[in-house]
Amino acid sequence: MSYIREAWYPVVWADRVGRELTRHVVLEEPIVIYRLQDGGIAALQDSCPHRLAPLSLGRLKGDDIECGYHGMTFDCAGKCVLIPGQDIIPGRALVRAYPVQVKYGLVWLYMGDARNADPSKIFHIEQYDDPAWHAVQGDTLRIECNYLSLCDNLLDPAHVTFVHATTLGTPAGATVPVNNEYHGNEICVWRWIRNAEPIGVFAKFGGLTGMVDRWHYYNYSTPSYFKIDMGSCPTGSIPDMERRSEGTQMYTCHVLTPVDQRTVLQHWFHVRNFRTNEFEMDADLSASLDMAFREDKVILERIQLEEERAPDFKRIILGIDAAPMKMRRMVDKLIQAEAAPRPTA
Amino acid sequence: MSYIREAWYPVVWADRVGRELTRHVVLEEPIVIYRLQDGGIAALQDSCPHRLAPLSLGRLKGDDIECGYHGMTFDCAGKCVLIPGQDIIPGRALVRAYPVQVKYGLVWLYMGDARNADPSKIFHIEQYDDPAWHAVQGDTLRIECNYLSLCDNLLDPAHVTFVHATTLGTPAGATVPVNNEYHGNEICVWRWIRNAEPIGVFAKFGGLTGMVDRWHYYNYSTPSYFKIDMGSCPTGSIPDMERRSEGTQMYTCHVLTPVDQRTVLQHWFHVRNFRTNEFEMDADLSASLDMAFREDKVILERIQLEEERAPDFKRIILGIDAAPMKMRRMVDKLIQAEAAPRPTA
Amino acid sequence: MSYIREAWYPVVWADRVGRELTRHVVLEEPIVIYRLQDGGIAALQDSCPHRLAPLSLGRLKGDDIECGYHGMTFDCAGKCVLIPGQDIIPGRALVRAYPVQVKYGLVWLYMGDARNADPSKIFHIEQYDDPAWHAVQGDTLRIECNYLSLCDNLLDPAHVTFVHATTLGTPAGATVPVNNEYHGNEICVWRWIRNAEPIGVFAKFGGLTGMVDRWHYYNYSTPSYFKIDMGSCPTGSIPDMERRSEGTQMYTCHVLTPVDQRTVLQHWFHVRNFRTNEFEMDADLSASLDMAFREDKVILERIQLEEERAPDFKRIILGIDAAPMKMRRMVDKLIQAEAAPRPTA
């Protein structure tokens, strides 16, 4: 199995990147990340081409990295600028440098051909910078499962009733059918549950007490970006489903980093349109969301082990699997397109 | 390598099965076991056929299990009775249910074709319910070795002198030859050691102080049932070897569960014809036996590692290996017979 | 990959060998080592040929080992002298005995054909017994890397500046070229660094304060013996490079035991020509050296992991790699020569 490489992936929260050399792994590639003297961020292949020593074990000299084994030194573009004891620097003495962007508090790397690194392709949510909304940096959860299993999960309203019974779901939703919409490399799975109890998170933080109409819109786009629109309003108060922002609404955003075939990083944050000035509730709300995401982690890590134990298992397909299966076909198609020979210019 | 599947295997002590869902593995198959409302016990394949989530992570609803991921619900016969959000239940939406019996305090599962599940084939020891005898539930020892290595060990009087020098053996036995008898799928290995010191367990618990005649009869039957008859009498006091019950006698019973190729559960209990009303000594005697069985565990787990390290090792065969080798041929023959195509009725 | 087998390898410090049975692994072969009653040392294959039980789990009976499983007993030459319960001892009932020598405080085993076990081929350093020099037993460092990576490292003056900046190196050496000399199965890599600060170890223990001429001679001989000659003298005071013993000089000797493809034991000791009567400084000096060797361990273990992660990595070759590459060719050539069919006498 492979990955979509021509895409931006988030790797770490920008406020955790300093002048120390830190190692990360994205799409099975080890990468050393560090803060430059001008405040920028550099991302280099974390392998000295001489003996494979991780450059992250070396030393930062200005904006260059000196390998900790023999002192080969690379600038922040990956070019070798010094080999101690040797005047000639071989042409192959370089390490890959990854295009870097900072957006929504995260460091994003372009994992494909650097010439294709268009920052406009990074995950986007228009409410993030809208003064009527409040954005809160969440956290990163490391899950020991294939990233596609987490993608399945983030396209799946049906599990909410069972996995998140007290946080994001209530029994009322169990039998309401979902709608699936597909546009290019995007999927939206959504449903409204009418005249129901509010879910735990909205009851606690949104101040909703009576019966509500509530909705979930799970928006996916390749490679592994998710924007989940959850909200509620007093029963019957929003007749036009497109005017959801008049209700109590929150987007939880999940942008995933496939580390390897059995590890994924789930970076998440949220933006909300209620109590936008009450920063003191941010940590509480984040803690509730974190607890819910950890409920998924338990299930997903066990399923990973089961799949490894029974690789020939033939699963049965349910109606709720339509969107996850479509997502996997979208991913496969992009991977195959990348693998195809390109016409030369 | 494979297993005999058309057989009953013990899996857990019945008094440890309650209303919580517990996962077990038998012959590499994950199985969820739980107590029914009527006091019975159910055993189902521990994999939801939808996404492989272990059902043991789900919830018990009456006698049904609701999967913890999407709420698919199975009755105690393995039939899917509910798929939330979907009216049609696919024909393949079922999990395997294993025939269950409780005998000698253990839960036994039939691992082959349920139509062949004849309870009379479960391990049997007639003294268990005889009022002249006293039965004591032992324990379960998990050993990280192939179950056949433990079978070898339980057919092998020769190791007792060296592995169990202070508990089940004495140096006197080292050179007394053994007798091997084979009947169908059964083996008996036995010897008498005449006019010797009593072994530690009988000296301590059987009150034997002088010289004794003592015997070991190791009875094996497929798939992995062992009944070991150990006893002693004052030297010369039992001329007829068939009247051993006139002496101080104990059967230790070992019924094994192959978990996988490198893990076995050794369930054991014993019945004795001495001090049958002195229940307060049961725990002490069991502790002595447990200590002896752990002496085997140390050796068997090291041998497992050595066999994995040196898979091409060509061992030498000794006289004491006759019965273990016969046992392995019996097992192989049954495995091959199960694999052969069956005539249709 | 294979090993040079027709060679002596050190396995353990002789003063740590007593009457208990201890297991060691050399070239992937498990070996039990113990002290004989006459003070000698025996080394036998640590596998009973019956069931693979490690003999080191058994008991010492005089100079014989009794297997802990069934009592098969082997003398210190590996011959089976007793099988309990059986009169005939099969011809194959023996374990390999390794030729043993004690030299420089270490137990050396000959791993090839015992008929070739010539003690004069063991690592030799003439200063060890010279009264003008003082020898100090060091220690053994276990490193989780292929032994050839450690051999590379011990033939490589270039890393000293970067890995051992405060102990064995200074920045001054970074650009001084090295000389490589090859003779049969021996390599010498050396350089002088003129008029430089003394390195940390010599400044601290050798009392050198002013500017010095200093040298490193890395002497390798197959299979994995290293004698590293480090020394210093006041700048210009030794015009003849062959008269180094007039300066402050120390040989650190490293004799390696390949345990398996990813584990090596680094046994080391040193001899010095300064402060030869000040035994109280031995432990301090050894601790400084040990700290330096652990700096290599960190790097080498990480490189091992990287090599396993990226087995197809094509490294670039630098000038400093000439001697390590020559060493690997020497080793390969000897391995191939051993694998070639031998002419019969």
Contact C64, C80 (CB under 8 A): no
A75 and A210 housed in the same domain: no
**Chain B positions in Cβ-Cβ contact with residue C68 (cut-off 8 Å):** 162-163, 299
**Per-residue pLDDT tens over the stretch B231-251:** 999 999 999 999 999 999 999
Residue A202 domain flag: yes
Tell me which residue has tokens 């009087």. Answer: B157
Residue B201, pLDDT score: 83
Which pLDDT score is estimated for B202?
A: 86
**A187-215 pLDDT tens trace:** 999 999 999 988 888 888 888 889 999 99
CA distances from A125 to A219, A227, A258, C62 (A): 11, 8, 21, 80
CATH classification of the domain holding C303: 3.90.380.10
- Chains A and B form CB pairs within 8 A to the count of 70
Residue B277 in contact with partner chain C when CB distance is under 8 A: no
Secondary structure of C106-171 in the HEC alphabet? EEEEECCCHHHCCHHHCCCCHHHHCCCCEEEEEEEEEECCCHHHHHHHHCCHHHHHHHCCCCCCCH
Q: A142 and A115 in one domain?
A: no
Among A101, A119, A137, residue at a domain's last position: A119
- Number of domains observed in the structure of chain A: 2
Please identify among residues 294-323 of chain B the ones whose CB lies closer than 8 Å to any CB of chain C.
298-299, 302-303, 306-307, 309-310, 313, 315-320
Clarify whether residues C326 and C201 are in a common domain.
yes
What pLDDT does residue B173 have?
67
Q: Does B61 touch chain A (CB under 8 A)?
A: no
Q: Do A162 and B71 touch (CB under 8 A)?
A: yes
Residue B341 maps to a domain: no
The answer on A106 and A132 residing in a single domain is: no
For this complex, say whether ipTM is above 0.95.
no
- CB-CB: which of B161, B175, B302 is closest to C54? B302
Does residue A32 fall inside a structural domain?
yes
Full-model pTM = 0.92
CB contact under 8 A, A163 and B66: no
Same domain, C82 and C178: no
In Å, the largest CA–CA distance within chain A is: 78
> C306 vs chain A: nearest CA distance in angstroms?
6
Band of residue C174 on the pLDDT scale cut at 50, 70, 90:
low
Chain C contact for A23 (CB, 8 A cutoff): no
Q: Are residues B102 and B246 in the same domain?
A: no
Which stretches of chain B score pLDDT less than 70? Answer: 1, 172-174, 343-345
CA distance C256 to chain B (A): 23
One domain, residues B106 and B131:
no
- Tell me the pLDDT band of A157, cut-offs 50, 70 and 90: confident
Q: How confident is the model over C17-26, as a mean pLDDT? A: 98
**What was the pLDDT predicted at C48?**
97
Same-domain pairing of B230 and B314: yes
Average pLDDT over residues A152-164: 90
Residue numbers of the domain that contains B314: 124-336
In a domain, B22, yes or no: yes
Would B232 be classed as within a structural domain?
yes
Are residues B193 and B111 part of one domain?
no
Range with the lowest mean pLDDT among A33-42, A170-179, B269-278, C25-34?
A170-179
Q: For A135-154, what is the mean pLDDT?
A: 97
**Which of A149, A156, A159 is the best substitution to test chain B (most B C-beta atoms within 10 A)?**
A159
Tally A–C CB contacts below 8 A: 70
What is the predicted pLDDT for the residue at C345?
54
Domain contains B344: no
Do A198 and A306 share a domain, yes or no? yes
C162 touches chain A (CB under 8 A): yes
Is 80 exceeded by the pLDDT of residue A343?
no
Residue-level pLDDT at C173? 67
Q: Do C316 and A67 touch (CB under 8 A)?
A: no
Which chains have 3+ CB pairs within 8 A of C? Answer: A, B
Domain boundary among C89, C119, C149: C119
**Using the beta-carbon criterion (under 8 Å), do B320 and C70 form an inter-chain contact?**
yes
- Cβ neighbors of C315 (< 8 A, separation 6 or more) are A49, A50, A51, A52
Contact A158 B85 (CB under 8 A): yes
- Asked if B70's CB is within 8 angstroms of A315's CB, the reply is no
Does residue C205 carry a pLDDT above 90?
no
- Chain B residues with CB under 8 Å of C67 CB are 162
Q: Does the distance separating the beta carbons of A315 and B90 come in below 8 Å?
A: no
- Residue at which a domain ends, from C119, C140, C166: C119
Q: Is residue A98 part of a domain?
A: yes
Q: What is the pLDDT of residue A86?
A: 87
Q: Of C309, C302, C162, give the one whose Cα is nearest residue A56.
A: C302
C183 DSSP β-pair partners = C186
**C-alpha–C-alpha distance, residues C235 and B306, integer Å:** 58
Residue B48 sits in a domain of what CATH number?
2.102.10.10
Residues of A in contact with C161 (CB under 8 A): 71, 84
C164 — pLDDT class (breaks 50, 70, 90):
confident
Residue with tokens 């984040």: A286
Over residues C300-317, the mean pLDDT reads 94
Q: Are residues A133 and A223 in the same domain?
A: yes
pLDDT higher than 60, residue A345: no
Within-domain flag for C274:
yes
Mean of pLDDT values over A22-42: 98
* Confidence (pLDDT) at B344: 63
For residue A91, list chain C residues with Cβ-Cβ distance below 8 A.
Answer: none
Q: Do A85 and C303 touch (CB under 8 A)?
A: no
B154: closest CA of chain C, how far (Å): 13
**Chain-chain contact of A303 with B86 (C-beta, under 8 angstroms):** no
Q: Are residues B183 and B261 in the same domain?
A: yes
pLDDT at C206 exceeding the cut of 90: no
